[in-house]
Amino acid sequence: MKHFKNFKLYEPDDKKLPTALYLRDENGNDWYSVIDGFTPDTFKISYRDDGLIIGCELDATGIFPVNLSVVEIAPADVPAELIPDGSWFYKDGELQQIRDYLADAETERNNRMAEVTTRIDWLDAAQKDGDISAEEVTELAALRANRIKLRRLDLSSAPDVNWPEYLNQK
């Protein structure tokens, strides 16, 4: 598999196309000279100096890697979920996903809060209408306590969050 690092703009001595932009890597390889050497059925991953993946293409002609590096990777070694969305890196010869666990935990808390709040609102309306059973009053109190725990929950240990338990009763 091919790997070309740190393409930069340059002016060739023999400029065949006067308006074209030319790139070469840190070893002096011209992008247009190496582009045909890639295997057609491999992924060409373009990434920044810090490893952040910018693009993932089968067709190398769809890449213009100015200030980027390009590595060729077999399809079997590319995770199906790879999307150049800012969470994937190429480091030490491997594709790695760096997840924002805190954001995931905040989303999970918001989802749990929404579910609990929906049930609280329903039970609260029933209570205001005078149409609530003793069992539902107990459930309402438990739901409110659960919502308070969720609201005050420390998410800094994500992904290892100690979620408060609530048995969903409907």
pTM reported for the whole predicted model: 0.62
Classify the C-alpha dihedral 64-57-37-6 as positive or negative. Answer: positive
29-54 pLDDT, tens per residue?
999 999 999 999 999 999 999 999 99
108-164 pLDDT, tens per residue?
999 999 999 999 999 999 999 999 999 999 999 999 999 999 999 999 888 889 999
Closest CA to 77 of 31, 47, 41: 41
Tokens of 14: 């023999």
